[in-house]
Chain A
Amino acid sequence: MPEMNDDQLRILFREAGPAQAPAGLRPAVMARLREVESLAPTAPLLNGRQWTLAICVLIGVVALASLLGSPNEHWLVPSFPITIGPWIAGTLAAHPWIPAASCLVFLWVLWEHRTFRHHAA
């Protein structure tokens, strides 16, 4: 059975050489690395305990809003679903800081998500 001569085969492979990588490979890699570095990991703003505190604050805000109620006639016992809409609208209109605080917490959550994602990457 014929077998290939190892030395000749080595010479043959060396003559042929490796496949030539495209000229743009190195610049493309370095560009991708710059992109990776621009999304470098950053420390999360909140640790676990602070997260718990933030959730408690959010629950507190909602509870407080419920207690304060709205000036319209539906605020005491909203009967879902007929009067729940006006009740919420009335409450939010009377206390604009509630949606503002909620938006702030929401933005905070988004920021946390982003930093955690990069941290994991």
Chain B
Amino acid sequence: MEHADLIRTIVAGNSGAYSQLVDRYQHMVFTVCLRILRNAEDAEEAAQDCFVKAYRNLAGYGGASKFSTWLYSIAYRTAVSSLRKRRPATDPLEELGWCPATEDMRPTADHAAPYLEQALKQLPPIDSLVLTLHYLDELKVEEIATVTGLGVSNVKVKLHRGRKRLADILDKAMNGQARNLLLNDA
């Protein structure tokens, strides 16, 4: 079922149909919350809150923006609000026991993906979110600005800065193997 039809069905009172929307977006909503909160438990709770808020406000979704943009903006605001309330967090990298690759465990450049998640955690949360929305969900700069409430130029700066830092971190983690694959010499 198309988004618009699905939303009409839900707003008309078929709340069971909402599970289809949750199914479609649960991973990206969870990812948005995780980028900000950096803790799976908190991210799950924020994702739940996000879907409940979205359900309550679904009738007010006018279709002016993409549904995903509207939903991610709720997820972002919920996660930021949760971040303000929660206890001081321990260092997530320490929790995960991440360390740069050693010579013995040097990966090939084709296997950079497993390093991405860890590398993103070394960036400021908002930068890692901006990169994720742009490269994973292919949101335009203007759409990311809508989700985060940042200005368009600010999003562009964060994308540019985030890309550079991500390149450095990945390259360091992969002992120089990422450079050939991912970097252009400007």
Report which A residues bind B (CB closer than 8 A).
1-5, 8-10, 12-22, 24-26, 28-30, 32-33, 36-37
Chain A residues, CB < 8 A from B28: 18
Shortest Cβ gap from A103 to chain B (Å): 35
Q: Is the CB of B166 within 8 A of A4?
A: yes
User: Which chain A residues lie closer than 8 Å to B137 at the CB level?
Assistant: 18
User: Cα distance A89–B186 when bound, in Å?
Assistant: 91
| CB within 8 Å for A2 and B179 given contacts A12-B116, A25-B44 | yes
Task: Please pick, from B27, B114, B186, the residue contacting A19 in the complex, using a CB distance under 8 A.
Answer: B27
Looking at A1, A19, A32, which has the most chain B CB atoms within 10 Å of its CB?
A19
Asked if A18 and B136 make an inter-chain contact with CB atoms under 8 angstroms apart, the answer reads yes
Name the interface size band of chain B.
35 or more
Determine whether B81 belongs to the interface, using a CB cutoff of 8 Å to chain A.
Answer: no
B 132-186 contacts with A by CB, 8 A: 132, 135-138, 163-164, 166-167, 179, 181-186
Q: Secondary structure at chain B's binding surface: helix, strand, loop or mixed?
A: helix
Report the Cα distance A43→B89, complex, angstroms: 43
- Given known contacts A3-B184, A10-B135, A19-B31, A32 and B48 CB-to-CB distance under 8 angstroms: yes
Cα A30 to Cα B14 with chains together (Å): 12
Residue of B nearest to A37 (CB): B15
Q: CA separation between A3 and B132, bound complex, in Å?
A: 17
30 A-B residue pairs with CB within 8 Å: A1-B186, A2-B179, A2-B183, A3-B164, A3-B183, A4-B163, A5-B183, A9-B135, A10-B138, A18-B28, A18-B136, A20-B30, A21-B26, A21-B27, A22-B40, A25-B44, A25-B48, A26-B19, A29-B18, A29-B47, A29-B48, A29-B52, A30-B18, A30-B19, A30-B22, A32-B52, A33-B52, A33-B55, A36-B55, A36-B56
Which residues of B have CB within 8 Å of A17? 27, 136
A4 touches B167 (CB 8 A): yes
- Chain B residue numbers with a CB within 8 Å of A29 are 18-19, 22, 47-48, 51-52
Residue of chain A at shortest CB distance from B29: A21
CA of A25 to CA of B166, assembled, Å: 30
Residues of B101-157 at the interface with A, using a CB-CB cut-off of 8 Å, are 112-114, 116-117, 131-132, 135-138
